[in-house]
Each structure stands twice: as structure tokens, then as C-alpha cells.
Chains A and B, each alone.
Chain A
Amino acid sequence: MQSVALWFATFLLMVIMSVPGLWVVLSAFRPNREILAKPPVWVPTELTLANFGKIFGFGSEQVGIPVTSYFMNSMIIALTSTVIALIIGMAGGYAFARYRFRFKGGIFLGLMLFRAVPGIALSLPIFMIWSRLGLIDAKMGLIIVYVSLNVPFTIWLIDGFFRQIPMSLSEAAQVDGCTRWQAFWKIEFPLARSGIAAAGVFAFLTSWNEFALASQLTRSTDSKTLPVGLMDFTAQFTIDWAGMCAMAVIIIIPALIMTFLVQKHLIAGLTFGGVKG
């Protein structure tokens, strides 16, 4: 009896978790008229790739939304900011994990509190400053912002991963003839690699999914990202649900792949860095 209840609860949970997403994915492969049909069509009568063709500018029917440019912008901005945030975060995380210095706790907390500033609140002064610096509607402008958005959390994660590696490994390597720098690259870095990859994926997802800042700092196909581009649909006269669903699928696929690759390390990193202060 108890186990039946358990299974029912689990089933219900999974339905609520996965149905909304799956419904969007399914709708991306259906013609708009079927989505709009009254009474509703429950079992799809035809599945089509036309929605994807449409948003990428192929086929007869087209929409005036340059999804390809948005996709490229998103990729360039997310990848570049992730790489820079990882380099900065690795240096910072290593410092927190391996050295003692004054105000250590304070600096760590300070970084976290900076991260807590709401994107929309931060967008105001950045908007004003970036306009003067000519960084509005430029990829570089968004990259810089995303680096700062990702550095604190990257440090938190990477600090945790480095602290899991015993200090004596680096010491053994130094006794074995390595400089501190060699010991880092030959011993500590390879061991922390999967954790660093997880931190990288987290940073990538943050940049890839960000909206509040991007919506104010971008203007055109030069820099607009996918989440901002999705809002283009709402400006049109009638909402193209099928097209939006197709674009949603485009946004989710890279995120999906990356998360699956590192999910285990991501959870480990979040808990370790937090519990063992």
C-alpha cells in the first residue's frame, strides 16, 4: 500500500517536471494551425520540421526574426565569457583553496554579495556607463558583464574542487622536482579538471540563459542573444506559437547536452564548496 503511494507520488512528480518541457518540444514539430485548433487536437496528425526551417529562413514561409545571428551571438558571447571567467575563477579559486591571507572570509563574502545584485538593478548604471564607452549593442559589452556575473560562483565551485585534492600531492610533486607552477599543471589541474569543466558549464548556462541585462544592453543582430530574440515574437501582431516553440528547442538543446555531460560533478561541487567552509 505504502509503496503504491510512493510510486504514484513519484509518477505525478515526474509528470509535472517533464510534461511542460515535452509539450513545448512536441509543439515545435506541429503546424501552428493544429496548435490553435478548437476543439484541441490531442494526438498530433502531422509532425513537421517546417517551424525550424521557418525560423532559420528556409522554405516558403519565413519569419522576420534572424535566429541564426542570435544563435551565433549567443554562442560567441557565452563561450568567450565562460573561458575568461574560468581563467579568472581558477586563479581566484586556487588562491582561496591553497593560501591563507588576511580578510580571506571577507573577500569571499564580498564576491558573493556582488553576485547577488539583481541583474535589472545592475543594468541601469551599466547601461549609462556602457553608452558612454560605446559598449551598448556590442558583444564585448555583454561579455564583460557576463564575466563578472560568473566569476564569484566559478570561484566558489573551483575552490571546492581544489580543496578536495590533498595538499600533499602538490607537495610531493615539488619534492619530486617540480616548481609550484609545474606541480599545479601536472598534478592539481588534471585532478580538478572535471570539476572545472562543471564550473565552466555552469558559467556557460548562466550566460546562455541571461535575459535582464542582455535585453537592455543589446539592440540589433550585432549582439542580440537568443533569450532576447525570443521576445521578438511577442512584438508581432499575432503570436506564432509554433515558431516560438521551435526557437525554445534551439535554446534548450546546447544547455541540455552540456548539463548531462557534467551533472554529477556539478552537484558534487555545489555541496562540497558549501559544506566544508
Chain B
Amino acid sequence: MAGITLAGVEKHYGRMRVVHGIDLDIAHEEFVVLVGPSGCGKSTTLRMIAGLEEITGGEIRIGERVVNDLPPRKRNISMVFQNYALYPHMNVRDNLGFGLKIAGQPQAVIAERVREAAEILGLSELLDRTPAELSGGQRQRVAMGRAIVRHPDAFLFDEPLSNLDAKLRGQMRAEIKKLHQKVKTTVVYVTHDQIEAMTLADRIVVMRDGYIEQVGTPMEVFNHPANTFVATFIGSPPMNLLPGRIEGGQVRLAGGEAVPVPARLAARVAEGLEVVLGIRPDDISPVGHGLGEVAEPADITLTVSIAEPLGMESLIYTTIAGQEVQAKLYGPRIVGPGEVLPFRLALERAHLFDAETGDTLEAR
């Protein structure tokens, strides 16, 4: 039984601060994804958990043990690296068994555990090959196999799919998910790809510039982003952000147009407050081509700049209040540039953020 606890964890390089006092509780068997743009401190955080970077301040516990000063080998964790880090001079069997051999396990135990891991990952046929003779996906599986044979307290993944092409990445994502269901273990997974975060995580940790911006389940983070950064980072295409001001129970946008304040937020806004209206492309659609019933409609006539047909849906670029906005058209209809159409906004799914701080105005 081992969760992971980070309490006020900091990392400095000389005078440069990379991680600013992170607090995080990861439950036993939980799959947590650290996500954020490059340079946000997510990899450094993972490497501190692994023991590959020293911790400048704070405390990391794995299970009940404080591991701050333990070397990686004493933490009982395993890690999958971005470039897989397979040992090029060993075949797959020896790569898988290396950790057990170092731990002094008897030959029979090693053979059995390697066989078991190879079976789970479909590597049984490849045991005698060297890493150079494997495809990208196979290498990825060996790296994961090396992690599971040791039955560690936690798996750490450092952007494991970033070296694969798009198709393979989708497959491996599913395999990682299956693997976690088979081998129930605590997982900390680092990625810059919000789709990986959404699909894999029990909980997502969004990071920026060494701070945690939001922690929550994928749906919480998607439906209730804590601030404009999270709102635009999670979800693709990103949420549209339109600056405006509260005037007479409406949001008056910078270009003069006004839309009503979403009903659930009416009590939380004061007259004259500078706000940012956030609305996802899925919630702006031509009338009759939207995503199901709209409870709080707001209609607006817009001119199409460009449309990108994607088959059963089209992505439409248009402008609201002088600002470029993306919208979605559901259905096989084709629209062209310059076409003027009535659009409907689903305000019950819109968000309001404080323009000054970027924080959400929703109750949290």
C-alpha cells in the first residue's frame, strides 16, 4: 500500500526556482497525470519523486516513508523514460530481468517474473532480440515491462509516448490504460499532451511555471477550469476567451455586443466588473447544427471566415467583437467563407473569469 505525498516541495538551481512549493496527495493505486507546457516543472517534479534530482525544500513521502535523502534504488519505484533508456547491449530478456538480478533474486524467480511481464505486454516472441532490432512501439513495451517486473510501489512515466507517431501513440495510450487496470499500482505520469492527460488520468494536475494551477478529475478540469490558463490548456480546439464587462446583468463585450450572464453565475458577478467570457467551440454552433438541446441560448449573427470540414462536423473560424473565435458545426453541411449565419451560444456551459486575476468566478 503506497500513495505518494508531496509537501511544500521546492527545487532551485542556484538562484533559479523551477518548482515553487508543491503540495500533492496521490492515493494508492491512483493514476495521476502531471500536465503542462514545457518548462513548467512537471519533469523536475517527477525526477524528484524518482530521486534523480535532489529536493531543495519540502518533503516527499512514498507510503509512510520520507524519501528525501534516499537514492533512487531504495525508493522501490520504477520509471519509463522518454527515450525508453533500454540497455542497448542486453537483449529484451536481460533488460526485463536487470533490476531483479541487481536485487539478487534467484534465477528461477527472475525467469518467472520476466515470462509473466512478457506475457502481459505481448513480448514473449521478442525476448532474445536486442533493442536495436525492435520497433518504436515494441521498445515502449519493453520499457514498460522493465517497470512492472519489479512489482514496485509506484510507476513513474516521463513523457513516454512523445517519440511515437500519432497512430502508435493512440494504441500505446490504450495499452497503458489496460496495463494499469491489470497491474493496479500508483502511477505518476508526465506529459505535455492534454489528450493523454484526459484519457489516462484518474486525476489531472495542471502545472505552469513551477506552480500547480489545478488538480481534479479530467471532467472537473474540463468542465470547471480554475482559471483562463487551464481553460485554454485543456480541451482542443481551445476555449474561446472574450474580454468584457458586466453591465445590467449582461456581459458587454469589447466590440459592443452583449450576451446574458449565465444563470448559475448571476449571483457571483457585480455590476461594472471586468471579466473574460470563456466558451468552448462546441458551444457556439449555427442554429440547428448544435450539440443537443441548449438550455440558455443566446443568438448572434456571424460571418464565416474559414471553414474546415472534418466529415461529420466542421470547424468554423469567425469573429465576435473583433476577436477571432472558433465554432463547431455538427452535421454534414458545408459552409463557405463569407457566408452569414445565425449562431447559437450555449451559455449554460460558458464560463466567466475575473479579467484581472484570470481566476474563475464560479463557486469552488
Query: In their complex, do chains A and B touch, with some C-beta pair under 8 Å?
Result: yes
**Chain A: residues with CB nearer than 8 A to chain B?**
166, 168-169, 171-180, 182, 186-187, 190-191
**Residues on the A chain within 8 Å of B83, using CB:** 166, 168
Is B15 positioned at the interface, with any CB of A under 8 Å from its CB?
no
B52:A174 contact, CB within 8 angstroms:
yes
Task: List B95-147 residues whose CB lies under 8 Å from chain A.
Answer: 98-99, 102-103, 146
Cross-chain contact of A169 among B82, B87, B102, B103 (Cβ < 8 A): B87
B73:A190 contact, CB within 8 angstroms:
no
Is B216 positioned at the interface, with any CB of A under 8 Å from its CB?
no
Known: A166-B83, A191-B89. A171 touches B52 (CB 8 A): yes
Cross-chain contact of B79 among A172, A178, A190 (Cβ < 8 A): A172
Known: A175-B78, A177-B102. A166 touches B72 (CB 8 A): no
Main secondary structure of the interface of A (DSSP, over half): helix
Task: List B50-105 residues whose CB lies under 8 Å from chain A.
Answer: 50-52, 71-73, 77-79, 81-83, 85, 87-89, 98-99, 102-103
B72:A175 contact, CB within 8 angstroms:
yes
Is B150 positioned at the interface, with any CB of A under 8 Å from its CB?
yes
Cross-chain contact of B99 among A166, A177, A191 (Cβ < 8 A): A177
B85:A182 contact, CB within 8 angstroms:
no
A176:B78 contact, CB within 8 angstroms:
yes
Query: Whole-angstrom distance between the alpha carbons of A176 and B87 in the complex?
Result: 12
**Residues on the B chain within 8 Å of A180, using CB:** 71
A174:B71 contact, CB within 8 angstroms:
yes
B87:A175 contact, CB within 8 angstroms:
no
B52:A176 contact, CB within 8 angstroms:
no
Query: Whole-angstrom distance between the alpha carbons of A8 and B87 in the complex?
Result: 47
**Residues on the A chain within 8 Å of B73, using CB:** 174-179
**Residues on the A chain within 8 Å of B77, using CB:** 175
Task: List B131-167 residues whose CB lies under 8 Å from chain A.
Answer: 146, 150, 156
**Residues on the A chain within 8 Å of B88, using CB:** 169, 191
Distance in Å from the Cβ of B116 to the closest Cβ of chain A?
17
**Residues on the B chain within 8 Å of A172, using CB:** 79, 81, 85, 87, 146
Query: Whole-angstrom distance between the alpha carbons of A186 and B98 in the complex?
Result: 10
- Please give 14 more A-B residue pairs, beta carbons under 8 A apart, in addition to A169-B85, A174-B71, A175-B50: A166-B83, A166-B85, A168-B83, A169-B87, A169-B88, A172-B85, A172-B87, A173-B87, A173-B98, A176-B99, A176-B146, A177-B73, A177-B103, A178-B102
Q: Would you list the 7 A-B pairs with minimal beta carbon distance, nearest first?
A: A176-B99, A172-B85, A168-B85, A177-B102, A174-B72, A177-B73, A168-B81
Closest to B156 in A: A175
Distance in Å from the Cβ of B303 to the closest Cβ of chain A?
52
Distance in Å from the Cβ of A106 to the closest Cβ of chain B?
18
**Residues on the B chain within 8 Å of A173, using CB:** 87, 98, 102
Closest to B81 in A: A168
**Residues on the B chain within 8 Å of A186, using CB:** 102
Distance in Å from the Cβ of A138 to the closest Cβ of chain B?
41
Distance in Å from the Cβ of A101 to the closest Cβ of chain B?
13
Query: Whole-angstrom distance between the alpha carbons of A250 and B359 in the complex?
Result: 82
A171:B102 contact, CB within 8 angstroms:
no
A171:B85 contact, CB within 8 angstroms:
yes
Distance in Å from the Cβ of A51 to the closest Cβ of chain B?
46
Sampled A-B contacts (27; CB under 8 Å)? A166-B83, A168-B81, A168-B82, A168-B83, A169-B85, A169-B87, A171-B79, A172-B81, A172-B85, A172-B87, A173-B87, A173-B98, A174-B73, A175-B50, A175-B73, A175-B78, A175-B79, A175-B156, A176-B73, A176-B78, A176-B98, A176-B99, A177-B73, A177-B103, A178-B102, A179-B73, A186-B102
Query: Whole-angstrom distance between the alpha carbons of A168 and B52 in the complex?
Result: 10
Distance in Å from the Cβ of A184 to the closest Cβ of chain B?
13
B89:A190 contact, CB within 8 angstroms:
yes
Interface centre among B72, B103, B156 (most CB of A within 10 A): B72
Interface centre among A168, A182, A186 (most CB of B within 10 A): A168
Task: List B214-236 residues whose CB lies under 8 Å from chain A.
Answer: none
Distance in Å from the Cβ of A193 to the closest Cβ of chain B?
9
**Residues on the B chain within 8 Å of A169, using CB:** 85, 87-88
B98:A179 contact, CB within 8 angstroms:
no
Query: Whole-angstrom distance between the alpha carbons of A180 and B71 in the complex?
Result: 9
Distance in Å from the Cβ of A190 to the closest Cβ of chain B?
5
Query: Whole-angstrom distance between the alpha carbons of A191 and B50 in the complex?
Result: 24
**Residues on the B chain within 8 Å of A174, using CB:** 51-52, 71-73
Query: Whole-angstrom distance between the alpha carbons of A191 and B98 in the complex?
Result: 16
**Residues on the B chain within 8 Å of A176, using CB:** 73, 78, 98-99, 102, 146, 150
Query: Whole-angstrom distance between the alpha carbons of A166 and B156 in the complex?
Result: 19
Closest to B77 in A: A175
Distance in Å from the Cβ of B62 to the closest Cβ of chain A?
13
Cross-chain contact of B102 among A166, A168, A182 (Cβ < 8 A): A182
Distance in Å from the Cβ of A144 to the closest Cβ of chain B?
35
A179:B85 contact, CB within 8 angstroms:
no
Distance in Å from the Cβ of B6 to the closest Cβ of chain A?
18
Closest to B52 in A: A171
